[in-house]
Structure formats: C-alpha cells, structure tokens
Structure 1
C-alpha cells in the first residue's frame, strides 16, 4: 500500500534530493496511522536539519490596529461583523517601539506589525512609515508587516521603507476558502502574495488548520502554499473564539496536528515552518515534539487576541532541545 511506503519514498525524494512531496504524496502522509506519526516526525526533523540547518528563528508580533475589521473571516474575533469581545483600538508609535525592544531582548530576529484591516488606508500607511523608522532607528531587528491585501503602490512603498517580510496567509485550501471567508476571494490573497515576492520582500504565507477542512483539503492547501514558494509558512491551529462562526468547533487533536506539521515539512523542505497561534491548546506539552518534527521557527509571547506561552518557556524549551536561536541576519 502506498501509505506504508510513503515515508520510504520521502526519504529518497525529500531528504536526499530536496524535492518536496506533491499533493497526492502529502495526502498519503496525512493518512498515515497514528502509530507511524513518530516515524513521520523523525523524518521531518532530518529533512529540516538537512535543508534548513539546526537554527530556530524566533519572532514577536504586535497589533498596531486591533479589531473592527470589515472582513468576515469566520475564525477571527477581530472581525467587526461578529459579536465578539474584541473592540477596535490603535497602538501609538512609542508603544510599538517598546514592543520591538522587548521582542529583541528575547533573541528574536523578526518583529511583525499586524493590523486588522482589509487593506491599509493612508492613515495606516503613515503609521507604518513612522513606526518602521522609529523601530529601526533604535532596535537591531528585522521588521515585518501584515496589513491585509495591498495595491502595487503599497507593496512598492513597503519594500522601499525597509519592510523585510510581508505576511499574508492563504488561510486554507482554495476549495474550502468560501466556507471561511466570503468578503474577499482566495485569488485576491494570491495576488498580494505574488506582488510581495516580485517586489523583493520575503513572503510569509500560511494559514489555520482544524477549521473543518478535510484531510484531502489539507493536502491541497500544502500544495497551494508550496506553489507560492513562501520564505516562511506560519502554521496556526484553530483556537475557537467566542462570538465567531467557528466559536463552537472542537480544537484539532494533537496527533492530527503533529501529522500535519510533519507533512508540511516534507512538502516544503527548505521553508521556514513556524509554530504560531493555537499550538498551546492543540498540542500542549507535545509542542516540543512538534519542534522536533520539522518546525524551525516559533512566535514567542502572546498573539493578536489570544494568550501564548510566556516567552521564557519557549526559549527554555529550545535550549533544552539544544536548538540554537538564529542570530540576526539583517537584510540590507
């Protein structure tokens, strides 16, 4: 049976040759029985070390504009469409700089400024210009942004002011996207991602797992992400938020989450694969196993509307695993 042979195939194709699994092969990995998940994770770890090295990248995030977003992403408590407890708020520039300094103090090499918007208006672009300059004047850290869908002019400006990486998630597979978002299209997200790459910024593009998609759609999603050739893929796991359409969904099981992490590594052997939101409730104490199963980056501290693990706990975990934190490599 193919599922019994897929890891042997992956050992040759991915580990030795550096060629990621295709959609059908990814599905075979996602259908591996529970008693082979450790074998999958061990291979994913070997692939990560072979093609990415043993370092781990640490990132902090902060929300410049929280809540009040006009989009209806069904997982998100920042949507103004739903009756969730998150309310609109803006962060001032001194607070932004302070957050960047605190992030740098953890050993992080990346600081991401996030805004809950469909796309940036002139007020937001002005704050980004001021914020990026204020941060880079006093903190030695790469600045990333996540500001929704962009015009070509906005992409070019962000690149020109020194934004190192832009995050714009596909969120889920194209065939499932309409079940998650109705106020914009999958193609609109892809368009922004392609402009970001062409402008020379690094592309950070991932999504959320466990939103009701099928295993086949997870394989589809992995292949669609790989086609964009992102520099980084953040893997979030649904943390059901009160007041949202997905608020009553059950969190993804730990074994399914680990199986997915290992599979995504085999699909994208050279990509930064980052543990992001939801890992605390989905994996709990098994987060360490996930890091040993192909992940090579983590977000430390809190997320946008949910609490993460304290940064010192994640840093201690990486130290215990003897996984060195990547030194800052500023792109000039």
Structure 2
C-alpha cells in the first residue's frame, strides 16, 4: 500500500484505498481529511457517500432508545446530566414494565428494527438485570419481535453471558473519546475498563455498538486518533454524537460544534470505517439542523435514532422518516443485515 500524499490530494488517495479497496484511512490520513479547507467539503461528503453506498448499500437502520433507569449515576462523565455528582436538573427515576413495553411498541410502529434499553449506571446490579429480563419477556409477550439492544454500563463476564441468554443481540458501550483525551472527560473509571467490556461483549457473540461524543475539548488530532481506535475495535455500529452542553455539568459552557466541522467528522469516520454502520445520534439537531442532517445522510451516515434521546428531545420521528423517503433511502427490514 502506498503512502498518502499531502493536502487535498488525500481525497484522491482515499478514493483508491477506501472506495476501491474498502480499506480505511490511517490516523495521519484521517487528520488530513479533518483539516481539509471548506471548499473541499462538498467533494469530501460526496466521496464518503460513495463509500457508504459501495460498502454498506442504501439501506438505513432506524433505532429508538428508552431509559429504564434515569439519573443518579455515580460516575463523573463531565458531559452527562445524569451524573449524581453534578447539580443538574435530572433526578433519578425508573421506568416500569408497562412503560417499557409501550416504548417498544411505539418504536416498532415507526418502522424501526432496533430498540435499545439504556440505564444510567456504572454497571448493572441484580435489580436492573431483573428489570431488563422482565421487560424483554413482556415485550416478546406483547408480540413485538423488534431486535433488542442494551446499554447498561460496564459488565462482568457473568453479566455478559446473562444478557446473551436473555436474547440481547447488540450492546452499546461508548468509548466516548480518544484514549489520550479520556482522563479529561472521566476520572471515576478508565478507557481501558470500557474497552474490556467491549472485548467480552464481542467474544460472546453480541454485536458491538461503540461510538462517542464530538466537541468535548478534544483536538482535531484526537478526533483522528479516536476514529482509528474505533476502527481497530471493528464495531458493528458507531453512534456519532455531538456535545449538547448540559446545565450543571462541567461542560455546560462549551461551544456547540460548528456544522461544517460536524460534517467533516462524519465523512472522516466513514473513510476510516468504510464497512461500519455509522449512526446519527445525540446533538445532530443542535449542531446541523434539518439541512445539515440531510447532508450527513449524503455524507456517510447510514443509521439514525428517531424520536427523543435520553434527556434531550429529538425531532419528531415522522420528520426523519419523511427525510429518508425524500432521499430515497429505504429503511432496513427486520432481520436484514447492513
């Protein structure tokens, strides 16, 4: 493999290596992409879209999420309003089983094939795992065959095995940011602890969903580092979030990521991970707005969360579904792989 040229020629190199061969860019090459001038952005997005279509196809996976346990988390993730260590407006609450079933029913009604059960915890205790098991059984008893994912924090091997036995097919556990930047974002656990949970999940046969948040004070070089660290993990899915500065958190006064920079990140992540599902997640409405969201869908994204997020409102699911229809991007059918 030849080394990439400098400057805007990196796009020509990426066309040969990523589009033609399906091989992701290196950390240095991703950094070059992230530093491309504004006038190169349309060509970058067009190439990222070609890569997505070539290696993933036109289908879009639609997902809904629900919080079964909100707030009161003991960890100090500086971006998170659900941390019990910060004076945020979020208070601890549990969702009952009928509420969980109804959320799954509404998610399936949008055409979504994925339903993720999320909890604000360091890791699940017996009560939480029991709630998840009971919820999954109730969802199935309701006649809903939607695929179920979970995001319950760091796991032990026994907990991984238990989730597999429950029928959870995908586990979300974000690395959040580059390894070099993580200590500035979280101090109560390490990047390596998160990585170990992902290792066990993958070894157990569950699909790995792992992404992070852009806009937490990381450098452009650290965004490139993060993209390649995710690529090395070879996750099934990478959710791309943009920081929503939350009142009461250490990041409440951080600047919102500019739209052009957000689109560069989307395209660069696609060029680093040509075969991976890239999902628009939290912060896209704030950072990109309606037009930017469409540009992202035409710039490498092939999955989307519809409806509300954990502590922030998203736009109505119908608007996202209308957008996909206008873009002629079919929704992935249940049981179909991307």
Question: TM-score, normalized by length of structure 1?
Answer: 0.99
After superposition, the C-alpha distances for 1:175-222 in whole angstroms (9 at most, x for unaligned) are 000110000000000000010000000000000001110000000000
Once residues 166 and 271 of structure 2 are traced to their aligned partners in structure 1, the CA distance between those partners, rounded to angstroms, is 35
Unpaired runs of at least 5, structure 1: none
Q: Say which of 85, 91, 101 aligns to 1:87.
A: 91
Measure, in 1, the Cα distance between the counterparts of 2:178 and 2:124: 25
Q: Pairwise CA RMSD of aligned residues?
A: 0.9
- State the partner residue of 1:329: 335
Q: 1:330 to 1:10 in 2, by over 3 A?
A: closer
Tell me the residue number matched to 1:310. 316
What does residue 17 of structure 1 align with? Answer: 21
Counterpart mapping for 1:39-50 below 5 A: 39-50=43-54
For the residues of structure 2 that align with 1:214 and 1:163, how far apart are their CA atoms? 35
Q: How does 1:157-196 map to 2 (within 5 A)?
A: 157-196=162-201
**How big is the shift at 1:161?**
1.1
Separation in 2, partners of 1:316, 1:204: 26
- Structure 2 gap ranges (5+): none
Taking the aligned partners of 1:291 and 1:214, their CA distance within structure 2 comes to 25
Instruction: Give the corresponding residue for 2:225.
Output: 220
Corresponding residue for residue 64 of structure 1: 68
Normalised to the residue count of structure 2, the TM-score between the two structures is 0.97
For residue 175 of structure 1, give the secondary structure of its aligned residue in structure 2: coil
- 1:330 to partner: Cα distance: 7.1
Q: SS of 1:283's equivalent?
A: helix
Matched residue SS, 2:249: coil
- 8 Å CA contact 2:70, 2:92 repeated in 1: yes
Q: Verify the 8 A CA contact 1:141 1:330 in the aligned structure 2.
A: no
8 Å CA contact retained: 1:20, 1:266? yes
SS in 1 for 2:31: helix
> Which of 276, 294, 316 is 2:300 aligned to?
294
Output the CA distance in 2 between the equivalents of 1:268 and 1:161: 30
1:4 equivalent to 2:40? Answer: no
* Alignment check: 8 A CA contact 1:77 1:85 kept: yes
1:241 to 235, 242, 246: 246
Residue 4 of structure 1 and its aligned partner are, at CA, apart by 1.6
- Asked whether the 8 Å contact 1:208–1:236 carries over to 2, the reply is yes
Q: Output the CA distance in 2 between the equivalents of 1:102 and 1:167.
A: 21
Give how far 1:136 is off: 2.4
The answer to whether the 8 A contact 2:8-2:40 is kept is: no
How much has 1:90 moved relative to structure 2? 0.1
For residues 91-143 of structure 1, give each alpha carbon's deviation from its aligned partner in whole angstroms, at most 9, with x where no partner exists. Answer: 01111010000000000000000000000000001111111111123212000
Distance in 2 (alpha carbons) for counterparts of 1:4 and 1:251: 26
